[in-house]
């Protein structure tokens, strides 16, 4: 192969290089990163090796991803049940999810009140039907029933 033929070949990225590029934009869980690299056509062994090295260097961390994800979802007014469900879908270990969500245990009641206030305003006495409507709304946001009942 001549030098000119070698220059004409397209540059091929490795799983390591692709993973670095993916993580440079935002945090990803190990599962999400594996899926993205797999979709790009990399072999499983190459993906595992790249992710292992990224974790060893501290560039990929499910704990850090989980913390960032929870902070973002709290800002959007979502409760712990919905956040936990979404993190499970992203392949984060249940122990990590539980420990991160526990850091916000004292804030769930206040967040629930804020979400309710933002949606419905501050209204005094409400009917049973309106109370049921609000309960469904807060439940769909991922707040547990015991917290919702404290507010309503």
- Give residue for tokens 């009942």: 149
Q: Are 30 and 55 in contact (CB under 8 A)?
A: yes
Residues with Cβ within 8 Å of 63's Cβ and at least 6 positions away in sequence, in order, are 96, 100
Cβ burial of 58 (10 Å; 0-12, 13-18, 19+) is exposed
Q: Which residue has the higher pLDDT, 149 or 122?
A: 149
Which domain, by its residues, includes 26?
14-57
Q: What would the pLDDT profile of 92-132 be if each residue is shown by its tens digit?
A: 999 999 999 999 999 999 999 999 999 888 767 888 999 99
Q: Categorize the per-residue pLDDT at 12 as very low, low, confident or very high, splitting at 50, 70 and 90.
A: low
Residues 51 and 71 in one domain: no
Residues 35 and 68 in one domain: no
Q: C-alpha 133: how far from its chain's center?
A: 28
Q: Categorize the per-residue pLDDT at 66 as very low, low, confident or very high, splitting at 50, 70 and 90.
A: very high
Q: Categorize the per-residue pLDDT at 11 as very low, low, confident or very high, splitting at 50, 70 and 90.
A: low
Q: C-alpha 30: how far from its chain's center?
A: 12
- 100: in domain: yes
> Max alpha carbon distance in the chain (Å)?
84
The Cα 136–Cα 152 span in angstroms is 12
């Amino acid at each position: 192969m001549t030098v000119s033929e070698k220059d004409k070949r397209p540059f091929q990225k490795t799983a390591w290089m692709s993973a670095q590029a993916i993580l440079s934009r935002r945090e990803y869980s190990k599962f999400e990163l594996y899926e993205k690299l797999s979709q790009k056509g990399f072999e499983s062994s190459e993906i595992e090796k790249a992710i292992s090295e990224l974790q060893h260097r501290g560039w990929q961390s499910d704990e850090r991803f989980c913390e960032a994800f929870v902070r973002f979802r709290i800002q959007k007014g979502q409760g712990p049940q919905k956040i936990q469900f979404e993190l499970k879908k992203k392949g984060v270990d249940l122990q990590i999810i539980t420990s991160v969500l526990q850091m916000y245990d004292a804030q769930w009641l206040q967040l629930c009140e804020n979400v309710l206030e933002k949606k419905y305003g501050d209204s005094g006495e409400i009917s049973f039907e309106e109370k049921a409507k609000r309960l469904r709304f807060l439940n769909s946001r991922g707040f547990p029933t015991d917290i919702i009942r404290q507010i309503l």
